[in-house]
Chains A and B, each alone.
Chain A
Amino acid sequence: METSLAHLSITEAAKKLKVKEITALDLARACLVEIEKRNKSLNAYLEVYTDVEAQAKVADAKRAQNEKEGKASHPLLGIPLALKDNILVEGRVASAASKMLEHYTATYDATVIKKLKDAGAVFLGRTNMDEFALGSTTENSAFGVTRNPHDETRTAGGTSGGSAVAVASGMALGALGTDTGGSVRAPSSFCGVVGLKPTYGAVSRFGLIAAVSSFDQAGPLARTVEDAELLFTTIRGEDALDSTSISETEYPARTAPKKIGVPVSLIAQGLDADVRVRFDAALVQLTKAGIPWEPIELPTLSVALATYYITNFAEVSSNLARFDGIRYGLSQKGETLFDDYATSRAAGFGAETRRRIILGTYVLSAGYYDAFYGKATAAREQLRREFVEIFKKVDIIATPTMPCPATTIGEKSDPLSMYLMDIFTVTANLTGNPALTVPMGTVTRDGKNLPVGMQFTAAHGDESGLFAIGKLLVL
């Protein structure tokens, strides 16, 4: 049993702070001790901020001030959090784990950061990720792989691997990640924590380094569903600086979930047998808790992964065109202007990023555009409609989050085999639905117990349905 304050849930820590059993400084120091012990081998943080204790002292002073004035303190006041390296914090480096932005200092706060600062959260540092959020295991970072705390020969999952490891190993009480095709949920599943991909537009994207703008959402990683809910309700909301953000009343409210749908043909293949056993056991538990399941079919799911990757390549190639070595970021000079661009981009981008830019250029080329991007956009809309229809019959779609436990480092060196692991997570990004991963027990590999996650997907805007069912799954 872990006794350090660094292993408390946010909710527990907030209670202790409220009754003055502990201070924000105690919490921050407890996390720094764990970071000192474990970050060197796990490589979760790319940078630990030097002013963590100072931030904690400010939080303690704010709490004292609030008490004096009879004002309630936000539950996140003084809570130490980790931030993925693609979220801008004014005056601090945000590199997206890329050589391209290695020395880039953010000029303003992301909206999610502004909201957390207003709440009084303490930022411990920035966490490792796949470069520009392109990958599934955090092996594509320009600054080394992040290791899984349950077995250091294994990956943390990705792309928010550093954030998941920080939460799983006591190096932060909670964290922010971003999810483009499973980037919050996959590492949460591999590391045994809770992770939420909110409804598209629920959380402002202003100040996130863009990967795939029509998929990206910032989301929390936490130890409990309650903590994820608290972080989500703090960062959500419409934002004048993100035109795709939506109000909390954009979608009609729903009642608590009563029925689960399981896409049986999707999970019939490619799933590790013991992950399936854990999944079936979790369904039994939820049935006992009063939420039975039924098989569902979503015909367009069969091409979801292809649809996802075409759209990903296309948007990545256009989003990353902004990195030209002219205005900011890595800049190298060649013989001509063309060489300036081409050498800066070759030196700044890693192999997977270059591969996706080339693929995006290919699928958007004249002659291929209709067959790839055009078809993918239509398939995406068809899938979204199927989801809207199915949520008239069921309240939650359940699948395993990942088809397997954490991969070993180097196991998925072939890019296509890496992409195939995202089979269950990409659909929520295609359709804009919210999805939550919750630990559903462990499976054994090489004598080590490795966590696996259960993924719940809900109707647009129904995060509360996800939190309700997630709280029922206590293993």
Chain B
Amino acid sequence: MISREDIEGLAALSRLKLTDAEIANLQKDISDIVGYVEAVSQVEIPSAVGADGPAHAAASIAPQHRNIMREDVLRTGESAARLAGKEEQVRAAFPTRQGDFNVVRKIIQKDE
């Protein structure tokens, strides 16, 4: 079974605060689930697939595996119009707002 320390480490990486009871449950659940999905690591994949790493696999056909780039220019036309003028709605969603600013915690501190 996955250790308590491992779960705490994953929780820290995931930026999640967990209760003691939840950690205990996750130790069991994650061990069960990982035990099941581990089957995939035993699969023999033909060298033509993924031999150069997954990113290169069939880049020509599967849209979801293709890197799609666009020019770094301002949008124009209909798609630009659909996004224009929404600044105030975005600001309205700020958890703590001051004027047009989103108030966040000071993260640079003086050395002590």
Contact = CB atoms under 8 A, between A and B. Distances in A.
Answer yes or no: do A and B interact: yes
Interface of A: 90-91, 104-105, 107-109, 114, 200-201, 214, 239-241, 243-244, 246, 250, 300, 302-303, 306-307, 309-310, 317, 321, 324-329, 331, 333, 337-343, 345-346, 349, 351, 354-355, 357-359, 361-363, 365, 371-372, 374-379, 381-382, 384-385, 388, 414-416, 419, 432
A303 B39 CA distance: 7
A346 B18 contact: yes
A127 to B, nearest CB: 22
B34 interface: yes
Interface pairs A-B: 5 shortest CB-CB: A378-B50, A331-B95, A377-B54, A328-B93, A107-B89
Contact of B54 (A201, A325, A327, A381): A381
Given A331-B96, A385-B49, A361 B14 contact: yes
B68 A243 contact: yes
A239 B30 CA distance: 38
A378 B54 contact: yes
A277 B16 CA distance: 46
Contacts of A343: 17
A374 B58 CA distance: 15
B65 to A, nearest CB: 7
- Most chain A CB atoms below 10 A, which of B15, B50, B95, B102: B15
B98 interface: no
Interface of B: 7, 10-18, 22, 26, 29-30, 32-34, 36-41, 43, 45-46, 49-50, 53-54, 57-58, 61-65, 68, 70, 75, 77-79, 82-83, 86, 89-90, 92-96, 102, 104-105, 107
Contacts of B79: 239-241
Contact of B36 (A250, A317, A416): A416
A358 B11 contact: yes
Contacts of B82: 108-109, 114, 241
